[in-house]
């Protein structure tokens, strides 16, 4: 079972009050309903179909006719068709289905917005399993005005949603892991939130560990490169017997670098301080190797 189906199964079992049921139904029928002389609603999720049936029955005291069909090929799931042939005008008016964007009474407080978003997710929502792929939550709708309205609702909860045209539809999507977790809380998918947050924290920790490891490796590579360059400069100076041309402190740094070729400047400064009982800082050691580098460059230039 996909993570999307898991979330839909969970929220399909929620208890709601009448105003929330009306709002949720408004979103569902708006997106997967076909309205003419009757209202037909199609879903591939059994829990969602059962949810819609119960919402209609408890709100309008009618029982939709249910037809179950096999999908277009044998690999498809069952398709559930619910048909309402009574109180059509009342339902259309109640649920504000006659315009691209529902009237404000459908979503005029936080609880109703949450219910509308829950109905939206049940009908046209999709969410990636954080364990298997990138973080992604999306909704596919039919027109730009409605897409902007959905984005507006989502962003009332600071979810940073975006709208993108996809072929002949419009996609409203969220890609930030934290915001997707917030959306699951908004629609009251609590078990899904726990699962999602556990995976998100694990992945964030793993990514942080990888970054630290990469950073550490980069530092090691830099230390090795620096030490290799310093040893190369010292060897150039040695080819002309030039170590004696260095002052005593710089010569001492050269001798210790050859003795400890893999040490960082910080480590080498500590070693020299301990072994000679004379304090030398990393900065001081750096300046000594700078002198060595200048002399090695001068020797190279003269040889050329």
Question: Are 14 and 95 found together in one domain?
Answer: yes
Query: If you average pLDDT over each of 43-47, 116-120, 221-225, which comes out highest?
Result: 116-120
pLDDT tens digits, residue range 219-253? 777 878 888 888 888 888 888 877 877 888 888 88
Token pair listed for 145: 């005005």
Identify the domain containing residue 272 by its residue range. Answer: 212-303
Q: Which residue has the tokens 């059994």?
A: 46
Please indicate, yes or no, if residue 261 is contained in any of the structural domains: yes
- Say if residues 179 and 160 touch (Cβ distance below 8 Å): yes
pLDDT tens digits, residue range 66-102? 999 877 655 567 899 999 999 999 999 999 999 999 9
Please indicate, yes or no, if residue 56 is contained in any of the structural domains: yes
Question: Are 179 and 229 found together in one domain?
Answer: no
Question: Are 92 and 239 found together in one domain?
Answer: no
Question: Are 164 and 235 found together in one domain?
Answer: no
Question: Are 36 and 84 found together in one domain?
Answer: yes
Question: Are 147 and 274 found together in one domain?
Answer: no
* 3-state SS track over 43-104: ECCHHHHHHHHHHHHHHHCCCCEEEEEECCCCCCCEEEEEEECCCHHHHHHHCCCCCCCCCH
Q: What is the pTM of this model?
A: 0.69
Distance CA(261)–CA(37), nearest Å, equals 86
Q: What is the mean pLDDT of residues 174-201?
A: 91
Q: Three-class SS of residue 278?
A: coil
Question: Are 40 and 164 found together in one domain?
Answer: yes
**Structurally, how many domains does the chain consist of?**
2
């Amino acid at each position: 079972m996909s993570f999307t189906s898991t979330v839909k199964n969970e929220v399909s079992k929620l208890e709601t009050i009448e105003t929330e049921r009306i709002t949720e139904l408004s979103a569902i029928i708006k997106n997967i309903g076909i309205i003419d002389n009757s209202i037909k609603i199609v879903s591939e999720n059994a829990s969602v179909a059962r949810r819609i049936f119960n919402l209609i029955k408890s709100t309008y005291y009618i029982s939709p006719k249910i037809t179950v069909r096999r999908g277009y090929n044998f690999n498809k799931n069952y398709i559930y068709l619910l048909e309402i042939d009574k109180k059509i005008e009342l339902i259309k008016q109640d649920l504000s289905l006659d315009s691209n964007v529902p009237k404000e009474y459908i979503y005029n407080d936080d609880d109703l917005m949450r219910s509308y978003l829950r109905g939206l997710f049940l009908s046209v929502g999709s969410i990636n399993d954080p364990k298997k792929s990138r973080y992604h939550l999306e909704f596919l709708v039919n027109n730009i005005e409605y897409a902007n309205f959905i984005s507006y609702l989502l962003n009332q909860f600071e979810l940073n949603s975006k709208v993108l045209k996809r072929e002949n539809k419009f996609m409203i999507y969220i890609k930030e892991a934290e915001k997707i977790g917030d959306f699951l809380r908004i629609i009251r998918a609590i078990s899904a939130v726990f699962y999602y947050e556990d995976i998100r924290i694990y992945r964030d920790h793993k990514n942080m560990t990888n970054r630290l490891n990469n950073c550490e490796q980069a530092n090691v590579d830099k230390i090795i490169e620096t030490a290799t360059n310093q040893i190369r400069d010292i060897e150039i100076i040695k080819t002309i017997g030039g170590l004696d041309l260095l002052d005593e402190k710089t010569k001492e740094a050269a001798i210790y670098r050859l003795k400890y070729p893999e040490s960082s400047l910080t480590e080498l400064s500590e070693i020299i301080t301990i072994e000679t009982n004379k304090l030398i800082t990393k900065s001081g050691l750096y300046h000594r190797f700078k002198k060595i580098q200048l002399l090695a460059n001068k020797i190279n230039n003269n040889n050329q």
